[in-house]
Structure 1
Amino acid sequence: MTRPSTDGGPPTFSRRSYLAAGAAALSATAGCLESLGVTNGDGANQNGDGNGDGAAVERVDNVDSALLDGKVVVLTRGSETAGEIDPETTDTPIQDGLDFLGANRGGELRLPPASVFERGAIRPYSDTAIVGFGPGVSEVGVPPSTDGIRFDRDAGVNRIRLDGFALNGPGPGEPSGVAIRHSGGNTQDLSVGRLLFWGWNDSVYRVESGTGPFQCRHDHLTVYDCDAGDADGLFEFRSSYGPANWFGTVAAYPTATESSRDSTAVFTRGGTQHIDQLTLGGTVGPAVHQTGGSQFHAEGIHWEPVDQRAVPEAIVRLLGRGPATIGNIKQATGTARYVYEVGTDPESGTPPARKRLGSYYRVGTEARLSENVVNLTAPNDPDSPSFYDGPAVDVTVTHEHPGTGGFRALGDAGTGVDTP
């Protein structure tokens, strides 16, 4: 599998071009490899249904050579040597490795500095990790209509780590699964480092209704050439629960080649999501669409769409009773009617409440608003007021109901003290 290079070069991948960098990276960990190894699968399986037969796992003495030769390497817990899997000999090299780790009390699966094709969804076990050389070096591809990584074990899984690889979908013109899907059990303490998603024609991260991942951290997620125009969002949180989930930097540059529609970046119905920085380009539509009782916080949003297919009602839509905090929004390009829409949840009919709308500013001449900054489409719950950091003139009230005093503009509050 290949993907277009981020620097505009041809979509090629050369394993050997990374030999020098790979050897240097591995030399730093060579000392700890001597104490690791492969067991025979007789140990207790704490994860339930790993087969542990080791059919595709062979002992390997030189981990560096195995990885640089394109093999998948497994490092099991408390073992003495490592094991390798040749992707040319199995349809599911990564799942084979995870099954082996799951039957041997966990461990780490290392991806080579190459492309690995997996003909099925990857289903991690507790206490396992999938680690590559970096998103521009290690790549995992899946066929059409197939999820990339799926968390669906009935008992749930804990303490999973994903880091340093690209997770590629089938690309343009093909039906797609979801890159990462939570659809069963409750995932706890998932740790995601640097991942890149390319070529998915659906959501790239989805939490299905009825499951609630919690205490999950995602450091740096990048989305290139994915089309969620037919989905609720690139990142979808459909469940009503799932606390304490954190995202560092999320950078998304979707395309509309399949759906001919802009993609919403984040859709949330429930649970807790905290995003430090959300930077958006491509054919992005709304940055955030919040409904239900979700607890949402985005500290900074950078909105810079290219080739818009439609003008969104608002860059950020905050509907219903769930608390939401937006630190600030910068608009660099594109047109929107409003920056914020604050209104009633269409599913439950509950009025808006508990919103904190941060400052908005435009840069350059290509950023436009056709109406105003804030559109208040329903009276705010007076017992759970909402606040906007700017002046009252930035707020347009488009509902026709009696006011409640529940929405307040803070930009006109206080006494100016900067006059000499």
Structure 2
Amino acid sequence: MHDIKTIREDAAAFDKGLARRGILPLSGEILELDEQRRTALAKQQELQAQRNALSKKIGEAKRNKQDSSALEAEGARVRAEIEALDAEGPRLDGLLRDMLAKIPNLLDTAVPDGKDETANKQEKLWGTPREFAVPPKPHFELGETLGLMDFAGAAKLAGARFTVLKGALARLERALGQFMLDTHTGEFGYSEAVVPLLVNDATMFGTGQLPKFAEDLFATTDGRWLIPTAEVPLTNLAAGEILSAAKLPLRMTALSYCFRSEAGSAGRDVRGMLRQHQFSKVELVSITLPEQSWDEHERMTRAAETILERLGLPYRRMLLCAGDTGFSSAKTYDLEVWMPGQGTYREISSCSNTLAFQARRMNARYRVGDGKPDFVHTLNGSGLAVGRALIAVMENYQNEDGSIAVPEVLRPYMGGMESITAA
């Protein structure tokens, strides 16, 4: 959410920021509505002062046994105008809030210009893709041949974009999630949480999923929403709070199922489990002081990179361009992991700094001592998407006989298993 005071102070800068996202100028429309709202409020205050003065005159007239009918008529007129403004003020407030709620965050100056992912900037390249004696297979061929990945069974149960994992592959996915949690809590200071998978409208609004992205979400019949990421409940734990500056940053992590409708992705990644309606992910969230957030962004991204490096998975860090940066983010790094079965890098983590954008939506603030509260900064990152990590391990660690070697760091979580073979 944007601060209306900032728009008033420099409307041109606001419009220039929107232009980087390909959005036409909106400050004129916003400020006109804001002026209407402020005029209505000033008029209401003026009328309330008139009503108070009339009430005093009417009282004096009655005490002096004078005719007060004209004053009472004027008082009734003023009351009617106040009652009309009692409805007009909230209506204008709502219109302004709705308008601001649909406008994305302004981008950091470090974000490169560009319309789509082709303009993203590679910031780092780690690892060398393995050379295979024979063409590497995609994960879905490996999984089905092993008898441990069942797409037909999942389709029978739930339709397209679902997968049933069995046996050692199911255990491998669990091992990945546990390895990530242990690393983030044990080494990077994140506090583990188990969060609700169903949340209300206010929670979805707070992190920016509503109202703009309702079609990307799954709604229940009782007015709740299935979370698209644990970022939503973790970040909203700060909603409506005034946190002590001395306790920041707060770092939280959760392994949860996530649910996305994948609206607009028809025909994309229909084979395998790259783009699912349900998937598991280890999420990282930080709540910081404003002066901490950029350092925290680098720290969070490094935590996610560490997982990939310990798994021995080649990856690259990409700085997203203006046209590819998400709605709430001011700056985002994507980590893309090498998928030999597809011959390309695929996103496995996004680490974003939203600055105060989400905090304003959820009224999350901090206070230094007895000072005036101000808005915190919020950050979120995948640490990592577990399903995609599973795919990357399968494709990078496949053997010619169709078996899959288990990365050394995961073997303690797999009961010492070194290789996954056919069921």
TM-score range, shorter chain: under 0.3
Alignment TM-score, normalising by the size of structure 1: 0.23
Structure showing the higher strand proportion among its residues: 1
Structure showing greater radius of gyration is: 2
Alignment TM-score, normalising by the size of structure 2: 0.23
